[in-house]
Structure 1
């Protein structure tokens, strides 16, 4: 049977072709396995930063305490922005499996919008703390805080760049097998950042303001 042009351009066709290729070869694509290994190493980095923050959590050096520093409603708003961005990305993945290219692009753009808002609020918080004399050099506690939260913010910024790249690639090439694999890896990365931020919100902000 001959393959029509429409079938050949569909995401399902690409997936079937790749599956047939991988089963016919000796080894499957190592991309997802390699990315899982990267995510585990990234999780270890954050675990180390959490442990460091825990050691320095009460080293205020006579400086301000978390209760004096944090605007909890603002942080809760920022947490909501990141959680909603994870939902919009999940919606995009559902549409990806159905081959809806335009809707995938829409959800990616919304995810980037919420992610950019998250970074913007975090930058505002940092600038406000520094203006109040509570910069990372003020105490060991603040050094641990800025390092942990700032590292997470840098990861979100990298994720935003990655989303921008994927918007361009999906627009140019559609939902090819390669792009679907990249979107899957990006999704795992983005959801990991959500999990890490829940830990930051709980242990740094919530528990900090209760001290």
Structure 2
């Protein structure tokens, strides 16, 4: 009697299971396309509202380039460390996957911390999302991205627990692949925010 492959349902051939995970990957690509549309709309809204300060502060007086640059560095490096986790999964090294996911989590958490600190500072200075159309659009765009990163951090924790308990089975590596797509997408979205929101806002 042959042992059932880990993570495979009884009576389900490995090829059939792989096809299911390919379909899920395709579905996730479609989700990312929808998410990209949402971010595109938020970018457009910000572009329209950026000049509507209602006599309040503008990006030139509010934005801290050093803080934004540090956020960018953290997210770019986290994308690279997630890539190392993906490479480790191909080698079948659960320990290395867990280590690189932990590093990615720390970097992502540092990014969220800096973003929350920036928001708190702006609100304390009377520059909250209700102050002007510009600030409403800013908080919505940047906050939406930060929420996505926070969801990604929770996903990293859940996936790390699965790697630790189930190993690198096909379902787990499939989830790791989809999480990688999500994380790299957030990296690209942030580069857009840094280039379109922070840099022009400080000029």
The two structures have a TM-score, normalised by structure 1, of 0.88
Q: Report the counterpart of residue 91 of structure 2 in structure 1.
A: 98
The count of aligned residue pairs is: 197
Does 2:140 match 1:147?
A: yes
Deviation of 1:65 (Å): 1.1
Q: Distance in 1 between matches of 2:55 and 2:184?
A: 37
For 1:9-158, list aligned pairs within 5 A: 18=14, 20-21=15-16, 29-158=22-151
Q: Report the counterpart of residue 10 of structure 2 in structure 1.
A: none
RMSD: 2.0
**Equivalent pair of 2:94/2:163 in contact (CA under 8 Å):** yes
The 3 A distance-change label for structure 1 pair 126 and 28 is closer
Q: Distance in 1 between matches of 2:185 and 2:143?
A: 16
Q: Which blocks of at least 5 consecutive residues in structure 1 are unaligned?
A: 12-16
Q: Which blocks of at least 5 consecutive residues in structure 2 are unaligned?
A: 8-12
The 3 A distance-change label for structure 1 pair 22 and 167 is closer
Deviation of 1:30 (Å): 1.2
Q: Distance in 1 between matches of 2:37 and 2:183?
A: 16
The 3 A distance-change label for structure 1 pair 185 and 76 is same
Does 2:152 match 1:175?
A: no
